[in-house]
Amino acid sequence: MKNNIIVLLTAMALISGCTKDKTPVPLTEIGGGNCDTNHIYFVNDVLPILSSNCAKSGCHDAITHEEGYNYSTHAGAYSSIHPGNLNDSKLYEVITTNNGEDMMPPAGNTPLTNEQIDIIAQWIIQGGLNDECTEGDSSTCNTSNMSFANDIAPIISSNCNGCHSGSSPSGGINLSNYSGVAAVAASGKLYNSVAQNGMAQSMPQTSKLSNCNINKIKAWVDAGYPNN
C-alpha cells in the first residue's frame, strides 16, 4: 500500500514539475472548517512526528542539531527536502533507508510507521509548506465519547511514542500501549503534561498539542480513561 501511494505521489510531482526553491516558507494559518482534509499541514501533521522521533536531545533538536539538522522547526525540516521531489529529499531518504548508519530514527528506537512515512512524503510532494490548520471556536472540536483506540492512541502515537516507547522509554514511561497511557492518566500527569500548566513536566518538549487534542485527552481522562 505504501509503495503504491509513493509511486502515485511521485507521478504527481513529475506532472506538476519539481521545484528546488529552498527559500524559507512563512507560516500560513488556515482556520476552522476551511481546512482541506486531503492536504498535509506541517504544524498539525508533520511537526508532531519530527518532534517525537527526531528532534530529541542528542539528535536533531535545536541544541544538538546533529549533522546540522534541526527538525524542531519548519526551516530545519525544509532545509533537508527538495519540495515536490522525494528522490532528492534527504529527510525522505533517511526515514526509508535500511542502512543502519543512515536510518532515522536510529536503530534501537521505534521506527516510523508506514502512515507516518506517507504523511512526510505527501508533505514533500505538496511543496513542503509551512502551514497550520487552526481550529475555529470550541464547537468545531468534538470531545464526546472519546475512544482510546480511535481518538487518544493516534494523538499519543504521533506526539509521544518517539520518546516513550521501545526498550528504553524516556523516564521509564512507555506510552505505546493502553496500560502505560492509563497509568499516567490516573496519576494526572498525562493531562497536566500536555496542558503545560506547570503541574507536570511539559510534553511534548518542543511544541504543544493543539487545543482540540488537549481537550480530547481531558475528556477521555475525565471519563475514567476507558479502554475502548
Residue span of the structural domain in which 35 resides: 25-134
149 pLDDT higher than 90: yes
Cα 207 from chain centroid (whole Å): 10
- Is residue 5 situated within a structural domain? no
Would 126 be classed as within a structural domain?
A: yes
Among 134, 169, 200, the domain boundary falls at 134
- Average pLDDT of the segment spanning 161-183: 87
Q: Does the pLDDT of residue 222 top 90, yes or no? A: yes
Per-residue pLDDT band for 32 (boundaries 50, 70, 90) equals low
pLDDT at 14: 42
Whether residue 123 is found in the same domain as residue 191? no
At residue 91, the pLDDT reads 93
Model confidence at 134, in pLDDT bands (50, 70, 90)?
confident
The upper half-sphere exposure of residue 145, i.e. CA atoms within 13 Å in the direction of its Cβ, equals: 0
Q: Where do runs of H (alpha helix) occur along the chain?
A: 2-16, 47-53, 74-78, 90-96, 114-125, 153-159, 178-187, 189-195, 211-222
φ and ψ of 114, to 5 deg = -60, -40
* Beta carbons of 40 and 122 less than 8 angstroms apart: yes
Is the pTM higher than 0.85? The answer reads no
Using alpha carbons, list the distances in angstroms from residue 220 to 109, 113, 137, 142: 28, 25, 20, 12
pLDDT score of 58 more than 60: no
Look at the chain and report how many structural domains it folds into: 2
Asked if 145 contacts 222 with a C-beta cutoff of 8 angstroms, the reply is no
Q: Is residue 12 assigned to a domain? A: no
Same domain for 164 and 128: no
Q: How far is CA 123 from CA 25, 43, 81, 104, 131, in A?
A: 13, 11, 10, 18, 10
When comparing pLDDT for 52 and 201, which is higher?
201
Indicate the residue among 107, 134, 161 that finishes a domain. Answer: 134
Helix, strand, coil percent content, the chain, rounded in steps of 5: 45, 5, 50
Cis peptide bond prior to 83, omega within 30° of 0: no
Region 162-168: mean pLDDT is 79
CA-to-CA distance for 184 and 223, rounded, in angstroms?
A: 15
pLDDT, tens digit (0-9, with 9 covering 90-100), for 66-124: 555 777 789 889 989 999 999 999 999 999 998 777 788 877 778 889 999 999 999 99
User: In terms of Cα–Cα distance, which of 66, 55, 35 is closest to 159?
Assistant: 55
Statement to judge: residues 215 and 119 lie in one domain: no
Are 125 and 84 in contact by the 8 Å Cβ rule? The answer is yes
- Same domain, yes or no, for 118 and 156? no
Share of the chain above pLDDT 70, in %: 79
Picking from 134, 169, 190, the residue at the C-terminal end of a domain is 134
